[in-house]
Structure 1
Amino acid sequence: MQIIFESREPQASALREPALQRVRFALRRLRTLVLRAKVRFIDVNGPRGGVDKQCLLEVKTEKSGVLAISTVASDWQAALNAALDRLVRALTRQLQRQHKGVRGRSPQPESGDH
């Protein structure tokens, strides 16, 4: 799995390695689904401050294409954690749907009088 980090924010760029490690750890069980992951940090309001730290996670999967998750928080770490939580839940749901489709369902007995 390839992981790409993008940010023009100096404070966020300092978190590059910890963010990449966090993404690897969060996606460790789903790594067979994910071909590429991109982490992007954006300071929405600039130097004005506030709840404006955006984390955009974009993953490319083999079967389902691209999935993008965006969260906003007061700091970069909180934004990353919230985005990863949402991403893992979405990928898990996607995997469960695919798994049910492959297994199929057992035929239901017909109702009625015998």
Structure 2
Amino acid sequence: MQVIFESRHASADALREEALGRVRFALRRLGAVVPRAKVMLTDVNGPRGGVDKHCLLEVKTEKAGVLVISSLASDWRTALDEGLGRLVRALKRALHRQHKPVRGRLPKLIAGEPG
């Protein structure tokens, strides 16, 4: 799995290796369906402080398409962790949807009628 990290903020660049490791750890079981993941960290309102650390996670999959999750928190680690949790849940949900049969199709196929 290829993980891409982008940030223009110096303090976010210091978290580069940790962020890459957390993404790989969170997606370790789903790595077969996720060829590429992208992490973007930005500071929304600069040095004024507050809840302004933005984490954007983008995952490209072959089956579920592209999933984009955005998270906002007061520090980088919290934004990344919250975003990763939501990303894993959304990815599992999207992949699970791919495996569900369409309702109403099974009885028609058993009865021999064309679907």
Q: What is the TM-score of this pair, normalised by structure 2?
A: 0.86
Q: Which structure 1 residue ranges, 5 or more long, are not aligned?
A: 108-114
> What secondary structure does 2:101 align onto?
helix
Q: 1:73 and 2:73 equivalent?
A: yes
User: Deviation per CA, 1:50-81, whole angstroms, max 9, x where unpaired?
Assistant: 10000000010012221100000000000000
1:2 is the counterpart of 2:15: no
Retained in 1: the 8 A contact 2:64–2:98?
no
- Is contact 2:54–2:79 with CA below 8 Å preserved after alignment? yes
Superposition deviation, residue 106 in structure 1: 6.0
Structure 1: 4+ residue segments shifted above 4 A:
none
Unaligned ranges ≥5, structure 2: 108-115
**TM-score (structure 1 length as normaliser):** 0.87
What pairs up with 1:1-114 in 2 under 5 angstroms?
1-101=1-101, 107=107
Q: 3-state DSSP class of the match of 2:11?
A: helix
Residue identity (%): 71
Please report the RMSD computed on the Cα atoms of aligned residues, expressed in angstroms.
1.9
SS in 1 for 2:63: coil
